[in-house]
Amino acid sequence: MPAMTEPKLISGNANRPLAQAIARRMSLHRGMSVKLVDARVERFNDQEIFVEVFENVRGEDMFIVQSTSNPANDNLMELLIIADALRRSSAARITAVIPYFGYARQDRRTKARTPISAKLVANLITEAGIDRVLTLDLHATQIQGFFDLPVDNLYAAPIFALDVEHNFRGRLQDVIVVSPDVGGVSRARELAKRIGCALAIVDKRREKPGEIAEMTVIGDVTGKTCIIVDDICDTAGTLCKAAQVLIEAGATEVHSYITHGVLSGPAVERITNSVMKSLVITDSIEASEAVKAAPNIRIVPTAPLFAQAILNTWNGTSVSSLFDQDTLTPIYEGLYQRG
């Protein structure tokens, strides 16, 4: 049965534009104004985080919208402290909506005497009193098992498929989807299957961490429009080099679709000066001014996806239905038209 209370959103400082966009989208679905709960998330002079919620949340179904992006530690602590404030204020249920889950790349021990930080963060979230997690494109799907609570991992692939079908209409027969490494093959294969295109792989060999000694293209990309698919783009070194290797292998164009645009350090400059015609990212991480100004970087919205997932969580209907591209098509009506 649907919950008796309305879903309520609260946001930290990590990505308020996305939280506000989700609220606006929910307002369209609900036919009533949905606003962020009035609260302040501030810092004392020593940067200690303080949270105060100004509205009554007793018995409410609360959704905290907070990516754990840069600065990762500050944003993570904001999430935990907001959750503690809501729990001590007798919220009925607390769902952490984490569009970008930081520390996800530390999901295993790659060397002796190293941490599994993704598991540690999962423990912190659980102990803070959060009841469930809603996230997007976890770096490794097994991270869902690190939590002792329900986790809904949404996927950007259906949105990317709509975007590709819209922007490459009439020339999909020339498109080939490319995984930038062997580990991302399943993600690339999923998009290739959705748009009915072939798959290629860029195999890289490292001499030592941080350096790529050699890249080899597995598959024929001659005369093709290549679409590189990955979940995270940080410094963009590997991505830009992969694009160059594809052009050298005979590709006519290279485009990239990346879920989380971390884009730290020299990333934006590298992308701007690269052979890539476009890089498409989601708004899971708030874009910097440099990213917004880059001529070949484009941002697609995730607010329609998250708004529907939040409503489905609130009223007890299927969240996995949003994995279906046909389900997302009406949600993204106005942005993309198929056919």
Residues forming the active site: 204
User: Do you find a cis peptide bond into 99, omega within 30 degrees of 0?
Assistant: no
Give, in order, the Cα–Cα distances in Å from 145 to each of 55, 107, 119, 150.
Answer: 34, 11, 9, 9
* Cβ neighbours of residue 168 closer than 8 Å, sequence gap 6 or more: 175, 225
**Cβ atoms of residues 132 and 150 within 8 Å:** yes
Dihedrals φ, ψ of 133, to 5°? -125, 140
Structure tokens given for 77? 């602590």
**Cβ atoms of residues 260 and 232 within 8 Å:** yes
Q: What is the largest CA-CA distance in the chain?
A: 61
Rounded Cα distance, 221 and 215, in Å: 14
Structure tokens given for 202? 């860029």
Helix (H, G, I), strand (E, B) or coil at 261: strand
Rounded Cα distance, 169 and 178, in Å: 19
Rounded Cα distance, 323 and 71, in Å: 30
> What b/e readout covers 249-274, taking b as 16+ CB neighbours within 10 angstroms?
bebebbbbbbbbbbbeeebbebbbeb
Element (H, E) at 218: strand 214-218
- Match 């609360």 to its residue by tokens: 62
* Cβ neighbours of residue 180 closer than 8 Å, sequence gap 6 or more: 202, 204, 228, 229, 230, 238, 239, 242
